[in-house]
Amino acid sequence: MAEEENLKKDILSEISNPIQIEGDPSTAKLTEKELIPANNEKEIFSDPELFKKVESALKAIPDSILKKNLFIIVCSLGSKFSHAEILDLMGSRITDRDRNYIASILEKRKYGELSVLFSFATNQGWNSAQVPQNKPEQNLINVPPHIEKASGALIKFNQRYLSESLSTFCQLSKINVIQSLQGTGKTELFLKLFGNDRIVYCSPIKELSRQARERHKKAGIEMANYEDFKNGGLSDYKGNIAICINSLHKLKPDNYKGAVVIFDEADQISNQLQSEIIKDQRSSVLKNFQSLVRNSHLSIFSSADIPASLLYLITDYLGYKDYYHYFNEYNPFAGRTLISYTDKNTFKANIENAISNGKACVAGLTKSTLINLEEELRQKFPEKKILLLMEENKYEEEQKKILTNPNLIQHLDVFLYTPVIASGVDISIKFSEKVFLFVDTNKTLNHFQAFQMVNRMRHFQDLHFFGLFSQKGGNIELYREKELIFADYRSKLAEIEINSHFGGDGKRFENSNFPPFDIHSMMVNSENEASKNGLREHFIQHCLERKFLFSTAKPLEFNAAAPKPRTRESVSKNELSADGILSARDISLSEAIEIKNSRNGTLQQRQELERYRLQKIISFRPGDSGSKKDLNKIARKTGSLILKYSHLKEYFIYAMDSFDLEMFESEIGKSDSQATKDPIQMRGKIYKEIFEKFPKPLLRKYFTGTDIVAIAWYLHTERENVDRYLSVRVDDGNMHDPLATLDQILRRFGVGLTTKVIGGSRHARINARDVSLLIRSYRRWWSAKKDFFLKKHMLLS
């Protein structure tokens, strides 16, 4: 109770004394001077022959001379090459600290001449006439410096498919790291190597465990999935098992002495061991993790990316200094192209160009960006079949089909998706040559995860990338020396003590030592922080390491041969509009089905169909004034039909009785698997808990964070469920800002918050008009709520 009261006081203190907001709204925006261009973004397309010549010259310069004259050499390179190209030329010879220094040099824009670089190389015996020709080896993946320095025995090889080189793995050690890029057949390798062994397959997410079970069964190897043991019995099971790291505490390690233990996507498992998701079971998960490795015949840590924190977990937390690190140099990405954008309008216009030519795939880190983009594309391309897949609609019929069988996107023209598609979902068909990645936030994924998200599309040629510039001041060095990480952590501990209620000078932390798992936590946090702070730079560098060809898109300049993007004026006559929908005639169900099946109806017919669908969503009643108001309101709201339906659905889930929700969840989800069943009962419980704590007198008035401290406390204590069921993350970064978190929750209902600065602090008010649409629609559906959940006669798919 004391801890709860203290935390409530802390939250109350934070939101009662906010930073004063100045009256000038422009002060809230970042200026260009506060931004660091990620790759200098000069419109430079270097001569390949010149690039090759410079690369040859740099190789002739020893590291000692290169480091001593780094400023001069970078200035010399800056006259002809972009930031990203310079980093590619330097390769693994420079540290992350050097990369930061290079960024600061280029920011000053003091460029020299390439002749200076060539003179350095000539003094070392370089001859420009001996520039090497391109070799296949140049497309291989280079071993990162932190792996070269590690204690494991490094075994390099070059193999398109791992299972075709079984002899490479004939002498495995107790602990083995297998690093190979996506699509090189790691799972197939395990099937061939360990077909006669007892296996524990551990993954970071459920989807991978399900896939592992299916892959083993197809290969004639019996394997259970941990989800099969919902009624208990897992602790007694001794056969092959696929299990998620979050549930590892349910397994009995003694049952798997002498087994082969495979940790797939091991970098994600390493991160997850430090996450809030397993907070309550962390100690028992870690105990079983250690026991399984110790009792195993051998253990495999497999992934495309092996960060320093994962190696530390193996060498210091688990205590295995000696291990084999198998590094596959084969690079399936060689020859692909990365096109970097600094202008969002150019990026969106090129998406439209791609759609005009055929098909396009767009991945994005924020749902609001993709929702708005989907709406724009539907208006501009009414004849195209467009689908958005995100957390909020993944249980809808069309979206659920894609998650079950991702290759069904072949029937679409445009596919947009958020991080709801993660590891374990592979789109193996050739859908589009171009993939677009919209990175307009650094709060969700790191650059490793963002690249994996794009690579769910296995076959693409051009990766179009828009990313935010980094802000000054944040750490962007990916693999810092441990002593620097310790120093930062000690400083934070001292600051907390000095500012605590009990006081203190913080000096007791100056020489403090930390246990291995705490150090692992610091390294994971440092890597994630640096990756997100420098998301644009790290993503570009990640692609360059995979030998992507690199270019930058010039703002609003396109290939003259390509069709121009369709402007609003050119399609306005064929667009759906709110006024057109509201003035359209009412049609019957049979007429609506006929128009829907025709696919290419006239504008008038499509407006009639849209009116019909909106009427069905709100249960429109002719002659009812409330129905007319709601039709006008929902027709003018932005977003797709599915999104508008989703807003109402979330309100229904909030408003319905818990018993009804339980009954509906059981009846509606009868045909669904556990993976695709919509957990409406749990969402309803969370919504009720939140809004029961909202002060009723303030429903139509402005309020502050102080007024909803009870909601802030609930969100903090239930953050795991709030994240899992509402997709709203509550962490140390926003737990003291309940207004922002409440805004995210209200958006699930399509309800907005109006914010206003009063007395120097931020106030907010719930938009009552948005709520009235939900309430009236719910009342009209009162006697047929099941039909609403079944989307009866709505024709939304």
Q: What is the pLDDT of residues 426-480, one digit of tens each?
A: 788 889 989 999 998 888 889 999 999 998 888 899 999 999 887 777 788 999 9
Side chain identity at residue 63, one-letter code = D
What mean pLDDT value characterizes the chain?
Answer: 83
Neighbours of 2 (CB within 10 A): 6
Neighbours of 95 (CB within 10 A): 17
Interval 782-796: pLDDT, tens: 998 888 988 888 887
Residues 156, 329 contacting (CB under 8 angstroms): yes
pLDDT band at 254 (very low <50, low <70, confident <90, very high): very high
* Percent helix / strand / coil, the chain, rounded to 5: 55, 10, 35
Between residues 661 and 146, which one has the greater pLDDT? 146
Give me the mean pLDDT over the 367-376 stretch.
86
* Residue 510, pLDDT above cutoff 70: yes
* Residue 738, pLDDT above cutoff 90: no
Quote the pLDDT of residue 38.
33
Interval 149-169: pLDDT, tens: 999 999 999 998 898 888 889
pLDDT band at 24 (very low <50, low <70, confident <90, very high): very low
pLDDT band at 734 (very low <50, low <70, confident <90, very high): low
CA distances in angstroms from 182 to 302, 305, 383, 409, 709, listed in the order given: 11, 10, 35, 21, 46
pLDDT band at 18 (very low <50, low <70, confident <90, very high): very low
Q: Residue 771 half-sphere exposure, CB side, CA atoms within 13 Å? A: 11
CATH code, residues 145-328:
3.40.50.300
Quote the pLDDT of residue 528.
93
Residues 311, 322 contacting (CB under 8 angstroms): no
* Residue 502, pLDDT above cutoff 80: no
Residues 517, 266 contacting (CB under 8 angstroms): no
Pair of tokens at residue 770: 């948005």
Q: ∠425-794-400 over CA atoms, to 5°?
A: 10
Quote the pLDDT of residue 33.
30
CA distance 551 to 544: 11
Quote the pLDDT of residue 322.
96
Grouping H, G, I as helix, E, B as strand and the rest as coil, residue 732 is coil
Residues 361, 379 contacting (CB under 8 angstroms): no
* Least confident interval from 15-29, 77-91, 513-527, 663-677: 15-29
Interval 27-48: pLDDT, tens: 333 333 333 333 333 333 446 6
Side chain identity at residue 109, one-letter code = R
Give the strand pairing for 549-552 and 337-341.
parallel
pLDDT band at 179 (very low <50, low <70, confident <90, very high): very high
DSSP assignment of 691-722, as one string?
HHTS-GGGTTS-B-GGGGHHHHHHHHHTHHHH
* Residue 347, pLDDT above cutoff 50: yes
* Residue 519, pLDDT above cutoff 90: yes
Interval 336-345: pLDDT, tens: 999 999 888 8
Domain positions in the chain are 1-20+646-797, 48-133, 145-328, 337-473+534-552
Quote the pLDDT of residue 9.
56
CATH code, residues 337-473+534-552:
3.40.50.300
Chain centroid to CA 316: how far?
Answer: 29
Residues 169, 314 contacting (CB under 8 angstroms): no
Pair of tokens at residue 397: 């019929």
Grouping H, G, I as helix, E, B as strand and the rest as coil, residue 66 is helix
Quote the pLDDT of residue 35.
31
> Radius of gyration (Cα) for the chain, nearest Å?
29
* Least confident interval from 141-155, 281-295, 513-527, 576-590: 576-590
Quote the pLDDT of residue 560.
38
Give the strand pairing for 298-303 and 360-364.
unpaired
Between residues 162 and 135, which one has the greater pLDDT? 162
